[in-house]
Amino acid sequence: MTATSSRTDLGMPGHGLEGVPTLPEDATPQTRKDFTSDQEVRWCPGCGDYAILAAVQGFLPELGLRRENVVFVSGIGCSSRFPYYLDTYGMHSIHGRAPAIATGLATSRPDLSVFVVTGDGDALSIGGNHLIHAMRRNVNLTILLFNNQIYGLTKGQYSPTSQVGLITKSTPMGSVDHPFNPVSLALGADATFVARTMDSDRKHLTEVLRAATAHRGTSLVEIYQNCPIFNDGVFDVLKDRSEGEARILHLAHGEEVAAGVNVVVRRDDGTLDVLPRDEADPARIVRHDAHADDPSLAFALSRLDDPTLAHVPMGIFRDVERSTYDDLVRAQIDGTISGAGGPATDQDIADLLAGRDSWMVGTAGKA
Amino acid sequence: MPTPTSTTSSTSRPDTVKLDRVVIRFAGDSGDGMQLTGDRFTTESAVLGNDLSTLPNFPAEIRAPQGTLPGVSSFQLHFADHDVLTPGDEPDVLVAMNPAALKANLADVPRGATIIANTDEFSKRNLAKVGYPTNPLEDGTLESYHVHAVALTSITVEALAPFDLTRKDKERSTNMFALGLLSWLYTRPISLTERFLTTKFGSKPELLAANLAALRAGFNYGETTEDFAHRYEVGPAPMKEGHYRNITGNVALAYGLVTASHRAGRPLVLGSYPITPASDILHTLAGLKRFGVTTIQAEDEIAGVGAALGAAFGGAIGVTTTSGPGLALKAETIGLATSLELPLVVCDIQRGGPSTGLPTKTEQADLLQAMFGRNGESPVAIVAPRSPADCFAIAMEAVRIATTYMTPVLILSDGYLANGSEPWQIPDTEDLPEFDVRLATERNGIDADGNDVFHPYLRDPETLARPWAVPGTPGLEHRVGGIEKANITGNISYDPDNHDLMTRLRAAKIDGIAATVAPLEVDDPDGDAEVLVLGWGSTYGPIAAAARSLRAQGFPVAQAHLRHLNPFPSNTGEVLTAYRHVIVPEMNLGQLSMLLRATFLVDIQSHTSVRGLPFSAADLEDVIQKAVTE
């Protein structure tokens, strides 16, 4: 292969769905029903997964994609049953490995819109390695991470996002494990799109999904999700209208980061603080910049989380453009093929097999 | 030992001795370039028309402490004017670049053999490093060998005096000097190596000139020195008319995969994590983008096979490459592929185990891991190449089975095949098997309401394979998963009878592959043998060499070699029971023997060795002869 074809500058990545076939303009608009499979949904009554499924089924038609070009890949856990309920292509794989499987699929099939559905145990414990590497590479995937801070399918052990002190079957005296903050982890792994939303806020969830699918590269969407059986009510303070207003710091690009009477301000040392607006120096009030190349602000915002959920940033922490792994891989291959004058022929195979040091036996001369 | 067939020859120089075969071992420090030297000498011999077989042997450490025994790297080449089956048991010539190389290899060198030693490295300090109290080149240790003590390094440095290079850089060309000298000694042309160096050092003219000068200086040193009484000549081997090249197992495997992908019209996607001795397949395939090959160097072994399986779901030929420890990590994903019934090719280039084991040494001890190393009843097809060049055909066979039967296929190669090489008659592309790989495009069922539906687990009645319906195909949207599925519909099913049925169907599908596998052939020239030697994988060469030698001595021996380990060829049981005595040599503790006994209820004499090295033909000869004469 020539050296010149080994690198191709793609410039800025396009829309997340570029290259995925859409329905003709005059086609009958799709509805939620088009994306609903014939399988009975089997989550526990009251599970937050129902709301997320409804939001996704309600949102997919607006993309205008052909159903056959949408693939959901999941791992293992309650949330990972998700693909069975969508009438698209889907794979319910093995614990933690969905990002790796989706990487192979997305890299070899630019005509597919690939979603990964995972949970806090699946993505952050057994599959932590695959998650960080998918984000580092920036494979064109939308990862929906359902975070209920508990292992549900195995009946209630603490997870890598459970709060310290949580009493579960495997931690009768309270968990001593320090939890991951999935947003901080994603930003640390150089994710190009990181957002947080909540199962019960369908409008916000849909807005985040819209932005996540438009983003080309790995979009990590953390979705706070209630497990009514093993960790019920863990996000209740955020769901209560007045409590939620006071606690949820809305992240909107270019807007002040605020919740109720509170605003986020920058201290002298550069770290962030949450103060009542009337105590804040207006010049220090933080305006969100989701498109900053430098992830420092996004990271600092993610560190405002605290175990009591006193203030929780919600929305898009980061949304920046960076070439995607799969686009770059395909560009090297496509560039090499077009540079060689088109797809390989039988003669090209014959030349490959012969190599440069071949010889003839029984006929004169070297090949 | 080589047999001189004439002391002089009218067609060559008067001092040229004709030999029918020679085994040379180049040995030196890991940094001395012995692998490259051996590789170049091999190419020179191949182009001369010799048949040959090679055995590289190197430590796992990239640069172990200089001059020590653990740092010794060697390359053995057996070349002959006739059909060659092994890299040779004992070297006729040992090139020892330092005392460590001499000490590490001397036990393998028979008395009367030739030793060429680089005296520059036989300093007090270097001798002490390997525990030689006195210099073996001078103290009589080697008096029963033909020793040529040559100051290879200092002559090289002297020859490179005109070049503006550091002494260290000049010393680095010593291997080219040695190659030049050996090329002279065995009347090999150096023009190919000159061409190779020109490509390799094209952008560094000073280094190119120095290496060429060292190579020619070595050749000319042979001409002018009086140290060597004879030159030797090994004539071309009679080979079938055709187009040949030399090839290692790993390159042949990579080329087989690419060729199969081309014939099948499906893109090749490799997901892999670097591991010795499999990495060269990744390197080779990474350079074949021209053939539409995608290589994903994954974050770990599990992600490597995961990416391959994801690509297979999308309609690609998904491949992963690894060695034993990596196969252990991939087990769960291979189990998923078994349940999803998707094509997947898993290449296990076996090395010494357990655990990290002997990363650069060969072994065949992953057979039972390949057969049973997953949870539940999860049968997979298993094939094994018998020689470096056979890796090409076996890779194509693996892709054929994977795509025809919608199943994972494990290829069990090993370190010996991976790095060893032999001449290969390059197949004509039109003679290669066609691949009829069909993707599903139509719905194949009707639901209770009379609507057309797609049944992802409706099987082909002949192969029991399910349809390969890839995303992007309208109307065939479906979900697959690792939970047990209802036969035909593929919906989640916990029904006891269905699980029993699906478990038996998955097993029957793999067993059914035997219908498209050639019967096990027995090589028994006179048809009167009572002893059968049955092998698999890389033991083919030593077994065939031992059998040939015994037959020449009048002992009847039958030989058969399994390339399909699961399922076995359908006549395997008949073959086994047709002989009074069956010997199965393996580089493990009897894994194939265990499978054969369990499957066919036959008595087997298991002969095993796990030394990280291939069997010696002579050892096998003894074992077989005992059985024949008993």
- Between A67, A68, A333, which is nearest B294 by CB? A333
Query: Is 80 exceeded by the pLDDT of residue A8?
Result: no
Q: What's the pLDDT at A366?
A: 41
Q: State pLDDT tens for residues B279-332.
A: 999 999 999 999 999 999 999 999 999 999 999 999 999 999 999 999 999 999
Instruction: Summarize the confidence of residues A71-92 as an average pLDDT.
Output: 97
Residue B62 DSSP code: S
Helix H or strand E segment including B502: helix B496-511
**What is the three-state SS of chain A?**
CCHHHHCCCCCCCCCCCCCCCECCCCCCCCCHHHHECCCCCCCCCCCHHHHHHHHHHHHHHHHCECHHHEEEEECCCCHHHHHHHECCEEEECCCCCHHHHHHHHHHHCCCCEEEEEEEHHHHHHHCHHHHHHHHHHCCCCEEEEEECCCECCCCCECCCCCCCCCCECCECCCCCCCCCCHHHHHHHCCCCEEEEEECCCHHHHHHHHHHHHHCCCCEEEEEECCCCCCCCCCCHHHHCHHHHHHHEEEECCCCECEECCEEEEECCCCCEEEEEHHHCCHHHECECCCCCCCCHHHHHHHCCCCCCCCCEEEEEEEECCCCCHHHHHHHHHHHHHHHCCCCCCHHHHHHHHHCCCCEEECCCCCC
Do the Cβ atoms of B356 and B345 come closer than 8 Å? Answer: no
Confidence band, pLDDT 50/70/90 cuts, at residue A11: low
Indicate whether A365 pLDDT > 60. no
A286-315 confidence digits (pLDDT tens)? 999 999 999 999 999 999 998 899 999 999
- On whether any CB of chain B is under 8 Å from the CB of A350, the answer is yes
pLDDT digits (tens, 9 = 90+) for B516-575: 999 999 999 999 999 999 999 999 999 999 999 999 999 999 999 999 999 999 999 999
Percent of chain A scoring above 90 in pLDDT: 92
Report the residue from A102, A343, A362 with minimal CB separation from B241.
A362
Query: Does A67 sit within 8 Å of B290, measured CB to CB?
Result: no
> What are the chain A neighbours of B308 within 8 Å (beta carbons)?
104
Q: Is there a contact between A91 and B43 if contact means CB atoms under 8 Å apart? A: no
When CB atoms are compared, the residue of A89, A97, A100 closest to B478 is A89
pLDDT at B226: 82
pLDDT tens, residue by residue, B460-497: 999 999 999 999 999 999 999 999 999 999 999 999 99
CA angle centred on B347, ends B346 and B348, rounded to 5°: 115
Give the pairing of strands A219-224 and A359-361: unpaired
Asked if B439 reaches chain A (Cβ–Cβ under 8 Å), the answer is: no
pLDDT at residue B429 in the model: 87
- How far off is chain A from B575, nearest CA to CA, in Å? 35
B332 in reach of chain A (CB within 8 A) = yes
- Residues 73-102 on A with a CB inside 8 Å of B are 73, 76, 83-84, 86-94, 97, 100-102
Mutate to test the interface with A, among B82, B290, B345 (most CBs of A within 10 A): B290
Span of A5-19, A315-329, B131-145 with lowest mean pLDDT: A5-19
- Alpha carbons within 13 angstroms on the beta-carbon side of residue A176 total 2
**CB-nearest partner of A358 from B245, B306, B313:** B245
List chain A residues with CB under 8 Å of B486. none
Share of chain B above pLDDT 90, in %: 89
Closest partner residue to B316 (CB to CB) among A84, A108, A357 is: A108
C-alpha distance from B417 to closest chain A C-alpha (Å): 18
Q: pLDDT digits over B218-257, tens only?
A: 999 998 888 888 899 999 999 899 999 999 999 999 999 9
Within 10 angstroms of residue A81's Cβ, the number of other Cβ atoms is: 23
Which residues in chain B are contacts of A336 at CB distance < 8 A? 289-290
Q: What is the mean pLDDT of chain A?
A: 94
Contact criterion met (CB < 8 Å) for B289 and A332: yes
* Residue A166 pLDDT exceeds 50: yes
Using the Cβ of A280 and the Cβ atoms of chain B, whether some distance falls under 8 Å is answered with no
Strand, helix or coil at B446? strand
CB contact under 8 A, B242 and A360: yes
Instruction: Please report the pLDDT score of residue B129 as a whole number.
Output: 94
Q: Which residues of B touch A83 (CB under 8 A)?
A: 479, 481
Give the position of tokens 């019934």: B341
Token match 């090839």: residue? B247
State the pairing for strand pair B16-19/B4-6: antiparallel
Query: Would the pLDDT of B12 be above 70?
Result: no
For residue B421, which phi and psi values (nearest 5 degrees)?
-140, 165
Is residue A113 within 8 Å of residue A72, measured between CB atoms?
no
Mean pLDDT, chain B, rounded, equals 94
**Cβ contact B188:B41 at 8 Å:** yes
Nearest alpha-carbon partner for A149 in A94, A203, A91, A225: A225
Q: Does residue B5 have a pLDDT over 70?
A: no
Q: What's the pLDDT score for residue A363?
A: 61
Q: Looking up tokens 């087990």, which residue turns up?
A: B331
**Can you read off the two tokens belonging to residue B205?**
């003219």
User: Residue A9 — very low, low, confident or very high, per pLDDT cuts 50/70/90?
Assistant: very low
Question: Which of B244, B246, B482 comes nearest A361 by C-beta?
Answer: B244
CA distance A257 to B368: 60
pLDDT value of residue B522: 98
pLDDT-based confidence at residue A6 (cuts at 50, 70, 90): very low
ipTM of this predicted structure = 0.95
Mean pLDDT of A39-51: 96
Amino acid at B398: A
Q: Is A355 left (phi over 0), alpha (psi -120 to 50) or beta?
A: left
pTM over 0.90: yes
B246 touches chain A (CB under 8 A): yes
Percent helix, strand and coil across chain B, each to the nearest 5: 40, 20, 40
